[in-house]
Copies of this chain bind each other. A is one copy, B any other.
Amino acid sequence: MQPHAIDRPSIVACIEHSGVFRKLAGESRERLLTEAFVAYADRGEVIWFAGSESRFSATLASGYVKLVRTAAQGTAVTVDIAGPGHTIGLLAVVEGHSYPLTAIAVSPTWYLKVPAGLMRDLYNSDGLLRDEVLHTMAPRLRRAHDMMARLTLGKVEQRLASVVLLLADSFGVRHETGTTVAVPLTRSDLAEMAGTTVETTIRVLSRWSKQGWVEMRRRHLTVLQPEALLDRNESD
């Protein structure tokens, strides 16, 4: 059907690639296998809206999801990105709150849908899972603080450099010439993350492109000289 869509993964495959569920065994694993199910979201599709009741968590098997905060006027800010192996909506489900952020697929995405009730049971009964949950939260909090710092301080070009480097670091595929960001993000997405406009983002990126620091194709970004981008942060 969808030319770019990867084949539907099995539940076992979802579990095996997941940071949170991988080590799970015994009855917990059994329940996951029977009560959780695989779902699909197309590019641009909303998996859940901020403010809605949390009914399930999503463990990504393939594809990428952006977590967006929408302000009153409609302006949106992407505060985090999740990729294969990551689980989103975990805190909301465990704590019984509504989702704080809107989750939108940025590429065709297969994921494991774990109902809230099941997730809460597993969390309460399985000590191992609790540890794993904490271990996934810690880096996210650190990343959030990190980005906060980078976003507040400095000029737009530095902020964009930070965003691009973070993306290359978190979701980069390395090859001889450089590192390609695996997430198919538009300039508009990047702008949302760096807190600037599409126009400025385009301007900065094409400047970098002319310098030979990055290479761009539609929705694809390759970092050729990360040092050059790093320099953009230090200077000034």
Task: Give the contacting residue for A144; candidates B71, B77, B141, B154; CB below 8 A.
Answer: B141
- A138→B195 contact, CB < 8 A: no
- B69→A145 contact, CB < 8 A: yes
Chain B residues lying within 8 Å of A193, measured Cβ to Cβ, are: 152
Chain B residues lying within 8 Å of A142, measured Cβ to Cβ, are: 100
A73 CB within 8 Å of chain B: yes
> Considering the chains assembled together, what is the distance between the CA atoms of A79 and B143 in angstroms?
12
Question: A127-B127, A130-B130, A140-B141 given as contacts; is B148 within 8 A of A79 (CB)?
Answer: yes
- A153→B72 contact, CB < 8 A: no
Give the distance to chain B from A229, nearest Cβ to Cβ, in Å. Answer: 14
> Considering the chains assembled together, what is the distance between the CA atoms of A67 and B148 in angstroms?
12
Question: A79-B149, A134-B94, A135-B95 given as contacts; is B141 within 8 A of A73 (CB)?
Answer: no
A25 CB within 8 Å of chain B: no
> Considering the chains assembled together, what is the distance between the CA atoms of A148 and B142 in angstroms?
13
- A195→B100 contact, CB < 8 A: no
- Chain A 1-27 residues near chain B, CB threshold 8 A: none
> Considering the chains assembled together, what is the distance between the CA atoms of A141 and B135 in angstroms?
13
Nearest B residue to A194 via CB reads B152
Chain B residues lying within 8 Å of A202, measured Cβ to Cβ, are: none
Among A72, A80, A133, A195, which residue has the most Cβ atoms of chain B within 10 A?
A: A195
> Considering the chains assembled together, what is the distance between the CA atoms of A203 and B197 in angstroms?
26
A65 CB within 8 Å of chain B: no
- B94→A151 contact, CB < 8 A: no
Chain B residues lying within 8 Å of A130, measured Cβ to Cβ, are: 127, 130-131, 134
Task: Give the contacting residue for A145; candidates B72, B79, B97, B135; CB below 8 A.
Answer: B79
- Chain A 192-218 residues near chain B, CB threshold 8 A: 193-195
**B-binding residues in A (CB < 8 A):** 67, 69, 71-73, 75, 77, 79-80, 91, 94-95, 97, 100-101, 127, 130-131, 133-135, 137-138, 140-142, 144-154, 193-195, 233-234
Q: A71-B149, A75-B154, A101-B145 are in contact. List 7 more A-B contacts (CB 8 A).
A: A67-B145, A75-B153, A79-B145, A79-B149, A95-B135, A95-B138, A151-B195
